[in-house]
Structure 1
Amino acid sequence: MFTGLISDIGRVERIDTQGDLRRMRVASGYKPESIALGASIACNGPCLTVVASGGLNEGSWFDVDIGAETLARTTASAWRVGTPLNLERSLKIGDELGGHIVTGHVDGVADILAVDPFDGMSRFSIQAPDKLARFIAEKGSIALDGTSLTVNSVDGAVLSVLLIPHSLAVTTWGERRAGDRLNLEVDLMARYAARLSYFAPTESAAI
């Protein structure tokens, strides 16, 4: 479980491919002794499991295995050596929940349509997959590349989000351009509310 508050920007250092499996090494600023084998770290949104780790310069490195399902449903298949990644450690009991509840289970891939910078900020216009539009609401929460953001506006499957200077500086969003693709996770409550309403009995069925 995560909050969508990015704690570090990592970078892909190495990629090894074996059939449908990719093992990626990510360099980070985390202390090596703080990364446990089997720990969950969200990398640009997807929750990935640490299979090895060690020290690197002033920080650390950790390896994650990325399976066929994750490669097919996220932007992970496009990551290359040097790709920057938004990183977040899993939530601990007692941590401040400053964003919203994020599972690290990506629902789809969205596309940046336009970037409008102004006053040090940037407004992003984003095309979400049509099937996810019903889960996205104005002033609701959404996770994009693992970042918890507030939806400013929605028009069909097109939404906008606003990034303040701090967020642009401490995440990969400062490097984002029109045409880039993003991992999208809808709000957990919206997902379950839609599921419950789908199975809700009709008035005639309840009589």
Structure 2
Amino acid sequence: MFTGIITDIGTIAKVEQRGDLRLVIDSGYDMGGVDLGASIACSGVCLTVVDKAPAGQPGWFAVDVSGETVSRTAPGLWHEGARLNLERALKVGDELGGHIVTGHVDGVGTLVSAVPEGDSTRLLIEAPASLAPYLAAKGSITVDGVSLTVNSVEDQADGTCRFGLNIIPHTQALTTLDALTPGRRFNLEIDILARYLGRMEQLRK
């Protein structure tokens, strides 16, 4: 489990195509405190540490990304040089600063626009029709692993929806949400409560 509060930005240093993708990710984390088998959210995707830097060396860790994960996440994310929002798994007793996040991507969104609004940046993101019923104003959503609050929801005629949110300068400075070109694709995870309520509603029909 995670909170959607990013604690580092990693960079993919190496990509190796095996049966799955093996990624080596450079990170500022002290890997002496990260066990093999630990979970790290990488731009909203929960991945398992399968190798890591020896003690006393610059931090890096390796993960395997399955074909299923590649197919369900933002296109072009898993390439050498890509920057990733990183968050280590939540520990009992940690401060829950964002919201409960599982690291399981529900869909891919597309940036429609990014415009200044006061000191913040207002984003308008289009979500697929499958996620539209789970988005609500003042609800929570995870965008590339970042916990954010939905400010507005606009349903579209084709069943998709566009939702608005604001990114404050602090968030832009500490995440990959500083690169905001329209058309950019994002990993989206809906609020876990909305996911379960949606499933319950399906079973009642």
Ranges in structure 2 where 5+ consecutive residues have no aligned partner: 156-160
Q: Partners in 2 of 1:168 and 1:57 — Cα distance?
A: 30
Q: CA deviation at 1:102?
A: 0.2
Q: Are the structure 2 counterparts of residues 41 and 3 from structure 1 closer, same or farther at C-alpha, using a change threshold of 3 Å?
A: same
2:101 aligns with 102
2:14 aligns with 14
Q: CA deviation at 1:199?
A: 2.0
2:50 aligns with 51
- Structure of larger gyration radius: 1
1:159 aligns with 2:158: no
Counterpart among 169, 178, 185 of residue 181 in structure 1: 185
SS in 1 for 2:151: strand
CA contact (8 A) 2:111 2:184 kept: yes
Q: Partners in 2 of 1:61 and 1:173 — Cα distance?
A: 22
CA RMSD of aligned residues (A): 1.6
Q: CA deviation at 1:137?
A: 0.4
Map residues 66-77 of structure 1 onto 2, 5 A cutoff.
Answer: 66-75=65-74, 77=76
Ranges in structure 1 where 5+ consecutive residues have no aligned partner: 202-207
Q: Deviations over 1:89-115 (max 9, x none)?
A: 000000001100000000111000101
Q: CA deviation at 1:80?
A: 1.6
Q: CA deviation at 1:43?
A: 0.2
Q: Partners in 2 of 1:97 and 1:91 — Cα distance?
A: 8
Given the two structures, how large is their TM-score scaled by the length of structure 1?
Answer: 0.92
Q: Partners in 2 of 1:147 and 1:55 — Cα distance?
A: 29
CA contact (8 A) 1:12 1:27 kept: yes
Q: Partners in 2 of 1:174 and 1:56 — Cα distance?
A: 32
Residue identity over aligned pairs, in percent, reads 48
CA contact (8 A) 1:70 1:76 kept: no
Q: CA deviation at 1:75?
A: 2.1
1:31 aligns with 2:30: yes
SS in 2 for 1:173: coil
Q: CA deviation at 1:73?
A: 0.3
1:205 aligns with none
- Which 10-residue stretch deviates more, 109-118 or 149-158? 109-118
Q: Are the structure 2 counterparts of residues 50 and 103 from structure 1 closer, same or farther at C-alpha, using a change threshold of 3 Å?
A: same
Q: Are the structure 2 counterparts of residues 164 and 58 from structure 1 closer, same or farther at C-alpha, using a change threshold of 3 Å?
A: farther
SS in 2 for 1:191: helix
1:193 aligns with 2:197: yes
AA at the equivalent of 1:32? M
CA contact (8 A) 1:71 1:77 kept: no
2:3 aligns with 3
Aligned length: 200
